[in-house]
Amino acid sequence: MEGIPTTPSKEKSLEKDEFSGSKTLEEIARIQKGRDLSALSVKELSSIREKYIRLKQELNIGGKEVKEGMETSYEQAQEIMGESFYGTEEIKNTFGFEFPKEKIPHVPYTPEVLEKAKENGEMLVLRVESDGSGSSITMQRMNEIMQTILEKDSEEEQEKLLYDTNWYHEEDFFKNASLKTEWRIVGKEFIPDSTSKNYIEQTKILRDYLFGLESLSEEEKSECTDELLEGLQKMLDDDYDKNWQEVAKKLSELLVNKNHRRIPAEILYDWVLQFRNRKDRGILEENYDWSNTLSSDGGLVYVGYADRGGVDVGAVGPGDRGGILGVVSLR
């Protein structure tokens, strides 16, 4: 048979795999007891998933599928994540509109991944692309929605959503950059040691952090090499005034930053969900998250310092360092 060696040793191991696989299938059947997967508890699903992965490994098939495993239902994800779950109810509590159930995507993370995310201090967030009227969820739209809500809520501890939009009210990241409908795992805290670092240093820390969580693709890893980052740092060192905008653009286009840092609209959305539902200003109360987005003058946008007077927004060059300027992971 093409692709299958016919040496005696291989034939012997294949017979053993078939026996082990049958045993694993029996174990799965005993747990499931003929029930539909939706009727099983999180613990039972996790156990079945582990045995499913073992079965695939024993039979040496479906390498990529083993990594991805099974999707998790909305209810199961909610049960696992608890207070770190932000779904349709939290969206309604925040923005006042109901997101249609039929438009909710499947949760693309396994129960095991979600359990580890919760242990790691992360939250699961449902992002949505449009509001109840069909308008795209941009920073501008969120600001409009929340201003009306905050004005009516006299007991609210937030005077307004955004502190001062004067400098960026015509910026693309404010007016046009919108969310996608998707589930994402988002850090509640900065990645360790990511403050007081410039954007290049932060990018290396982010890359290594994601690699440790097995959340970095081979393409992301191979693109963002130490040599490349050192070359960008050399450009800044050689002539900062001449090169900083080019360096900022190159950094913003790296896949590790495009895929695992948030755009300003995402930072604002995640923060207001957390604040309105948990009364928690989180890491951004006295700090800024450095986004992957460029302002029109080439600066890298940051969002944070979310006090009663509103969330602040600014932009700086890639060589800047700040003790309150860190990076929150997105995966």
DSSP state of 280: -
Whether pLDDT at 214 is above 50? yes
Sign of CA dihedral 330, 265, 105, 74: positive
Instruction: Indicate the residue type of 97.
Output: F
**pLDDT of the residue at 35:** 73
Name the pLDDT band for 32 (thresholds 50, 70, 90): confident
pLDDT at 8 over 50: no
Residue 212 has pLDDT above 50, yes or no: yes
Question: Each residue of 43-70: pLDDT tens digit?
Answer: 666 566 555 544 544 444 433 333 445 6
pLDDT of 160 strictly over 50: yes
Of 16, 282, 235, which Cα lies nearest the Cα of 123?
282
* For residue 37, pLDDT beyond 70: no
Three-state SS at 187: strand
- Give the strands of the sheet with 85-86, arranged side by side: 85-86, 122-127, 182-187
How many CB atoms lie under 10 A from the CB of residue 2? 3
Average pLDDT, the chain: 87
Least confident of 5-19, 42-56, 133-147, 251-265: 5-19
CA distance linking residue 294 with residue 172, whole number of Å: 9
Q: What is the mean pLDDT of residues 277-301?
A: 97
Integer Cα distance of 230 and 27 in angstroms: 52
Burial group, residue 186, by CB count within 10 angstroms (0-12, 13-18, 19+): buried
Two tokens, residue 331: 């995966």
Residues 214-240 as b/e (b if ≥16 CB within 10 A, e otherwise) read ebbeeebeeebeeeebeebbebbeeee
CB atoms within 10 A of CB 110: 21
**Predicted pLDDT at 64:** 33
> Which residue in the block uniquely carries the two structure tokens 């209810």?
75
Evaluate if residue 77 carries a pLDDT over 50: yes
Q: What is each CA distance from 273 to 46, 147, 276, in whole angstroms? A: 28, 15, 5
Region 290-311 average pLDDT: 97
304: tokens are 């944070």
Secondary structure element (H or E) that encloses residue 306, with its range: strand 300-307
